[in-house]
Homo-oligomer: A and B are copies of this chain.
Amino acid sequence: MTDLDRDREAVLAANAAFYAAFEMLDYDAMKRAWATSPQVTCIHPGATPIAGRDAVLSSWREIFASTTSIHFTLADVRAYVAGDVAWVVLVEQIEARHDEAVVRASTRATNVFVREAGEYRLVHHHAEPASARRMPARATALN
């Protein structure tokens, strides 16, 4: 296994850790997924870009507070590495539950990572709503 292969695996693991933190709605794990640099940015689906670590972490706190459960299936995952920076381009298939509604969505995402103390951590997340269906929670029992 070359260094590049190892780096790509490390980036894919960091990417998976980000989505695992999101699925667990685990704020501390989400915090660890992000770089400690204040220069982080985030574009949540359909929202204005957010800049700065404090603002980005606050946005996750709010999202977690308003989400009952969320599940991701990742597709077309492509990871690229150039030294201490890496980026992942992928499609997120999402099923989220917010109180009485279930949202099934597909988003296209770009995640940029920087290596800090040997670990790749997010410096930018851009998720674009590709398509979404919203329905009352009960209706999903029929699917």
Interface of A is mostly: strand
A-B contact pairs, 10 of them (CB 8 A): A43-B89, A43-B128, A49-B76, A49-B78, A49-B91, A82-B84, A83-B84, A83-B85, A85-B85, A87-B87
Within 77-107 of A, Cβ neighbours of B (below 8 Å) are at 78, 80, 82-85, 87, 89, 91
A123 CB–B CB distance under 8 Å: yes
A41:B83 contact, CB within 8 angstroms: no
Q: Would B124 and A126 count as touching, CB distance under 8 A?
A: no
Interface size on A, residues (CB 8 A): 26
Name A46's closest neighbour in chain B (CB-CB): B130
Using Cβ atoms and an 8 Å threshold, which residues of chain B touch A140?
none
Report if A112 contacts B (CB, 8 A).
Answer: yes
